[in-house]
């Protein structure tokens, strides 16, 4: 279960409202990865030869990509805290 201490504070959400949806994305991602791992336990099995079906292949790929997305989310959060973007109201965010 996700530690609620790592949730953004109301002040952080006022400064960086994008954190609200990013926390929701991260929580959903963790749930999805756990469900995929539970549904496809044999894809990381150490026994050989093993029979991998196409859906197992794509589940493994999704798990890999989910890990990459999780890493990118953590890096974004760190970067936001160390080098916050500054823009005035009305300025485009990009």
Answer yes or no: is pLDDT of 1 > 80.
Answer: no
What DSSP assignment string belongs to 34-77? HHHHHH-GGGG---SS----HHHHHHHHHHHHHHHHHHHHHHHH
Q: Would you state the pLDDT for residue 50?
A: 73
**What average pLDDT does range 80-87 have in this prediction?**
68
Top pLDDT among 21 and 42 is at 21
Whole-number mean pLDDT of the chain? 84
Q: What are the tens digits of pLDDT across the range 24-64? A: 999 999 999 999 999 998 888 877 777 788 999 999 999 99
Answer yes or no: is pLDDT of 94 > 80.
Answer: no
Q: Would you state the pLDDT for residue 91?
A: 54
- The pTM of the full predicted model, rounded to 2 decimals, is 0.74
R_g of the chain, CA atoms, integer Å: 18
Separation CA 39–CA 58 (nearest Å): 12
């Amino acid at each position: 279960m996700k530690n609620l201490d790592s949730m953004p504070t109301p002040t952080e959400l006022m400064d960086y409202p994008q954190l609200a949806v990013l926390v929701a994305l991260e929580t959903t991602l963790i749930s999805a990865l756990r469900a995929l791992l539970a549904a496809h336990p044999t894809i990381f099995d150490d026994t050989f030869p093993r029979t991998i079906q196409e859906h197992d292949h794509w589940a493994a790929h999704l798990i890999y990509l989910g890990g990459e997305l999780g890493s990118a989310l953590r890096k974004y959060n760190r970067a936001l805290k160390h080098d916050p973007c500054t823009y005035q109201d009305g300025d485009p965010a990009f």
